[in-house]
Amino acid sequence: MAQKLEKFKSGSYRNQGDFMSFIPSPINMDWTWETPRINALLNRASSELGGLNSFAELVPDIDTYIKMHIKVEANRSNRIEGTNTTIEEDMMPIEDINPEHRDDALEVANYIKALNYGIDRIQKDDFPFTTRLLREVHKILLQGVRGEHKTPGEFRTSQNFIGGSMPSNAKYVPPAVPDMQDALNDFDKFMNREGDDLPVLIRLAMMHYQFESIHPFQDGNGRIGRIMIPLYLLSQKELVKPCFYISYYFEEHRQEYYEALQNVRVKNDMVGWIYFFLTASIETAQTAKQKFRLAVEQVYWYKEYLMNKRTSADSLRSVIRAMYSQPVASVNQLMTLTGLSAATVNNAVKILTADRILEERTGNRRNRIFVLKGYLKVFS
């Protein structure tokens, strides 16, 4: 028998002595709803996602722009967790970053590696979306950064908590390990449930809530929960390109995001969470299309600029093209990316800086860092 989202029961609590742990209710079942607003938001979100797919297939060099999109997603998702780097810092060599921000920059770099790994596993290896994939991604996420001693790639074997200094004063205490295992088994079955007609976006909204409630890793749950969103859409063929990243919306509406998740647990308000998630999906797809559109316009502007250059046009073109996927770069990086000599790259950046296409950010005579400012602004 199908269950109504309007009558969703989030779970129960287990007495653990000096604190209570939450046990999420199973979700691996048929779900229906009666609320018209869900249908309206779902139709809009599905339409926007379809439009993003169509747009992505038409944009020349879309894969290059997606690389930038992923870097911005990594910055935004990690900012939710408290990191404090700029987009520019995330793209600089680690030795050129403010020492106070280097750990944060490494975490962002790991996020990019982990997300790209998941994309490759799904698109190139045709690997199914399972908790095993999430563990593989998690292992990369925590390699060599804060949290590296918290069993990367493995589900937790001890109690964790959110907020506060211990479980007894925490804002939220996820299920204890035995209850967590049962919840994960149910979660795994629900992710790839066959035989029902539940729309992918509704399923994904419930998955994200359930994953964050289970909190199966000792660290990195929030980031994995957000990485999961584009990966699942790719695995279900709802995305043709990995170009849907929702962390910007979650970060801009951080308090509302946390409250919507918590309201499911304390008020059984799954409908309210689905409203939030579908609204976030609509705006995310619209924002992505706008960024890609502006990127195409910016690239066209650079082509117009290059057509008017009578000297060094080829080297200028090579440098600009290299910076589409690496818009913050040193001369050494540009030499590697373009295959040009130091003298040629130095001459090119001199011209591009004079023409205000590039901007030098260090003020140094050596180890200078250049920014393709107009292009970077499109994404950041």
CATH code: domain of residue 315: 1.10.10.10
pTM: 0.93
CB atoms within 10 A of CB 29: 15
Instruction: Say if residue 127 is in the same domain as residue 222.
Output: yes
Q: What is the pLDDT of residue 285?
A: 97
Instruction: Say if residue 69 is in the same domain as residue 142.
Output: yes
Q: What is the pLDDT of residue 177?
A: 96
**Least confident residue range of 114-118, 146-150, 195-199, 227-231:** 146-150
Q: Which domain holds residue 237?
A: 3-291
Total domain count for the chain?
2
DSSP assignment string, 170-202: -SB----HHHHHHHHHHHHHHHT--S----HHH
Instruction: Say if residue 261 is in the same domain as residue 366.
Output: no
CATH code, 45: 1.10.3290.10
For 26-36, the pLDDT digits (tens) are: 999 999 999 99
Instruction: Say if residue 90 is in the same domain as residue 150.
Output: yes
Cβ atoms 117, 136 nearer than 8 A: yes
Instruction: Say if residue 200 is in the same domain as residue 319.
Output: no
For 249-296, the pLDDT digits (tens) are: 999 999 999 999 999 999 999 999 999 999 999 999 999 999 999 999
341 vs 69 pLDDT, higher one: 341
Give the confidence band of 239 by pLDDT, cuts at 50, 70, 90.
Answer: very high
Structure tokens at 160: 């964790």
Average pLDDT, the chain: 94
Cβ atoms 179, 148 nearer than 8 A: no
Out of 258, 291, 324, a domain closes at 291
Domain-embedded: residue 298? no
175 vs 93 pLDDT, higher one: 175
Instruction: Say if residue 269 is in the same domain as residue 205.
Output: yes
Give the confidence band of 87 by pLDDT, cuts at 50, 70, 90.
Answer: confident
One-letter amino acid for residue 53 of the chain: N
Q: What is the pLDDT of residue 109?
A: 93
Instruction: Say if residue 172 is in the same domain as residue 318.
Output: no
Instruction: Say if residue 225 is in the same domain as residue 163.
Output: yes
Nearest to 79 by CA among 250, 291, 327: 250
| Rounded distance between C-alpha atoms, residue 247 and residue 350, angstroms | 37
